[in-house]
Chains A and B, each alone.
Chain A
């Protein structure tokens, strides 16, 4: 069925984003599951827009709303880094492993809205317009929030690693 395939095709990206957003695999998959359930209950609402490519932005918007609602409801959604790093298909080098640990710690120090924009743009590669739509904010807000998020991440990484981490992969 076309509708199901289109949604299933987005699951890996939803998982990647949720994992980076929440820092921990199980809670990330919980959020993905809630997103899928809500999406399917509203599937008919998306139908008219079906000609406009994939349901990606729509799904990210649903996930964003759930994330925000959880924060408002005071649930413990704040970033909690994995004790173990995600399993990598190839064994990470020691340098990689340390670097990724620094990254998850640095992400944890960002406020939720900055983490969202940083990941939507930097990891999920949404356009600025798409990100504005997903987050329901004007594009100017996207740019200023992105700027703050990047400056903060850079500051934290520099502090932790003396800038080494970012230099390594330049």
Chain B
């Protein structure tokens, strides 16, 4: 069937589309032609066009008006300043309620009294993650290019052989590491933090603490604090905690990486 031989009847939708300039060439001509012999509908289309023009005349000046600062502030991506300050606030909040977390973990029947110190591991690790992982210029003290030095230095300070696990196969490159203060004399003074980065910029940190009280091993445990997901475990003299932002890392992904780390430490 040749559509041109049987003209499609012109309906109200066509008239709106004509007023709004939404018709393609041939149909527009067809409707124009039809309107020429239908003055009432032509008047309607003209009135609708006039409405559109009136709306533009009334409100287009807003397009050129300077934007209020509050709207520019509101359009700042959450990933940058806002999100970060929120997270700092969250970190500060747990510092305030740290005692509550300790109390809560005390009630965990699965924990031996000996491992009570374990409670602070994810907490400390998450804080360290929150503080250092957004760093652009100084994410680490010693970069991955000096890996041998990094290992030797941290091994000496933590009092035991320590090498950063290699996670390239999982998609994370070592950025480097830094030395952090621990919880004091009893908990072993020094802590190491290794940082890893995926190609899309997401960062993981591995927090390693010398728990010093002999050989112990625990299963993986998970915690989530202030938007940071932590997998942690004890293995030999060290306690390990792998942290990533909850919004960026699923539990499954962290578990995968934590397993890889565990296997490298225990070949």
A residues apposed to B, CB below 8 Å = 1, 3-4, 7-8, 11-13, 15-16, 19-20, 29, 32-33, 36-37, 40-41, 43, 86-89, 96, 99-100, 103-104, 118-119, 121-123, 125, 127-128, 143, 146-147, 150, 153-154, 157, 165-167, 169-170
**Given A3-B77, A16-B59, 20 further pairs, Cβ under 8 A:** A1-B77, A11-B72, A13-B63, A29-B68, A33-B70, A36-B74, A87-B61, A89-B61, A96-B57, A99-B54, A100-B58, A103-B55, A118-B55, A127-B22, A143-B16, A147-B16, A150-B51, A169-B50, A170-B46, A170-B50
Q: Does the CB pair B57–A29 fall under 8 Å?
A: no
For B145, list chain A residues within 8 Å (CB): none
Name the A residues within 8 Å of B62 (CB-CB). Answer: 12, 15-16, 19, 86
Q: Tell whether, in the assembled complex, residue A33 and residue B74 are in contact, meaning their CB atoms are under 8 Å apart.
A: yes
**Which residues of chain B are near A169, meaning CB under 8 Å?**
50, 53-54, 57
B74 to chain A: which residues have CB within 8 Å?
Answer: 33, 36-37, 40
Given contacts A4-B75, A147-B16, A170-B46, contact A12 B57 (CB under 8 A): no
Total B residues in contact with A, Cβ cutoff 8 Å = 38
CA distance A37 to B77 in the complex (A): 9
CA distance A104 to B17 in the complex (A): 24
Please tell me if the beta carbons of A36 and B51 are within 8 angstroms of each other in the complex.
Answer: no
In the A-B complex, the 3 residue pairs with the closest CB atoms: A36-B74, A122-B52, A123-B55
Contact indicator A122/B55 (Cβ below 8 Å): yes
Indicate which residue in A7, A41, A87, A103 contacts B54 across the interface (CB closer than 8 Å).
Answer: A103
Residue-wise interface mask of B (46-88) relative to A, using a CB-CB cutoff of 8 A (1 in contact, 0 not): 1111111111111111111101101110111111100000000
List 27 A-B residue pairs with CB atoms under 8 Å apart, sorted by A's residue number: A1-B77, A4-B77, A8-B72, A11-B72, A16-B62, A19-B62, A20-B55, A29-B68, A36-B71, A40-B76, A40-B77, A86-B59, A86-B61, A87-B65, A99-B57, A103-B54, A103-B55, A104-B58, A121-B20, A122-B20, A122-B48, A123-B55, A125-B20, A147-B12, A150-B47, A157-B51, A166-B51
Once bound together, how far apart are the Cα atoms of A12 and B63, in whole Å? Answer: 5
B108 proximal to A (CB < 8 A): no
Residues of B within 8 A of A165 (CB): 54
**Shortest CB distance B237–A (Å):** 40
Q: Does B135 contact A (CB under 8 A)?
A: no
Chain B residue at smallest Cβ distance from A14 = B71
**Distance between Cα atoms of A88 and B57 in the complex (Å):** 10
